[in-house]
Structure 1
Amino acid sequence: MTTPQFSTKVRCFHDGDCPLCKAEVKAMKRLDRDGAIEWVDIVRDQAALDSAGISYKQAMDRIHVIDENRQLQTGARAFLVLWKRLPYYRRLAVLVETLPGLLPLMECAYRLFAYYRLPLTGKRRIDEKN
């Protein structure tokens, strides 16, 4: 399998204080040997969120990725953008894009995870004013 070449980095906005998110991002960072992804910790870089037009609450509710076309992707589609750039995960991205119904199923699973991740990690949900 050849490694696809991307001309533009994508930006991944993640919660650097979430132990579950940190573990997953750490694993993906190790695989991102080409530096194809700019990893933005939303807890430490509010300015990056502001410049992308993403509120802190939105970023805490769902993963956000700005793809190579400067389009904002969230949830399962955001993971797909990341996986296409990472060894091993590329095969998973092909499966998700090829098998009918897998992306919607993945989105349902992600929504469930996203809803419960803050309480599972001992954090409170962000209220609407943030």
Structure 2
Amino acid sequence: MKRLDRDGAIEWVDIVRDQAALDSAGISYKQAMERIHVIDENRQLQTGARAFLVLWKRLPYYRRLAVLVETLPGLLPLMECAYRLFAYYRLPLTGKRRIDEKN
């Protein structure tokens, strides 16, 4: 998605290199690895499917998808369920270990 942000409309944060960004948002590294987090235009923290909507609204090609998700009843909750499943298995599917409580 970052490659689609040709206008630089999104401030992408590398959570490995920028602990200060996590601290200012009140997010631990473990929390950041478990779910996507986005701070919207109103400075509100959004996670999961709602976080994707915030991103999609600012990216070409995805803008229409965001409108569709917001318009069709029941689609956002369905996306959230799918995202939770994906987020839980994301690291093991890529050969990485889940972050333990110590991190």
TM-score (norm 2): 0.95
Structure 1 segments of 4 or more deviating over 6 A? none
Q: CA-to-partner distance for each residue in 1:85-116, whole Å, 9 max, x for gaps?
A: 01110000000000000000000110000000
Q: Residue 57 of structure 1: CA displacement?
A: 0.7
* Structure with greater strand percent: 1
Query: Which residue number corresponds to residue 60 of structure 1?
Result: 33
**CA offsets per residue over residues 3-52 of structure 1, 9 Å max, x none?**
xxxxxxxxxxxxxxxxxxxxxxxxx2222122110000112211211111
1:70 Cα deviation after fit? 0.4
- How many residues were matched structurally? 103
Q: Which ranges of structure 2 fall in alignment gaps of 5 or more residues? A: none
The percent identity for this pair of structures is 99
TM-align CA RMSD: 0.9
Question: Residues 60-85 of structure 1: CA distance to partner in whole angstroms, max 9, x if unpaired?
Answer: 10000000100000000000000000
SS at match of 1:123: coil
TM-score between both structures, scaled by the size of structure 1: 0.76
CA distance, structure 1, for counterparts of residue 35 and residue 2 of structure 2: 19
Question: Which stretches in structure 1 are left out of the alignment for 5+ residues?
Answer: 1-27
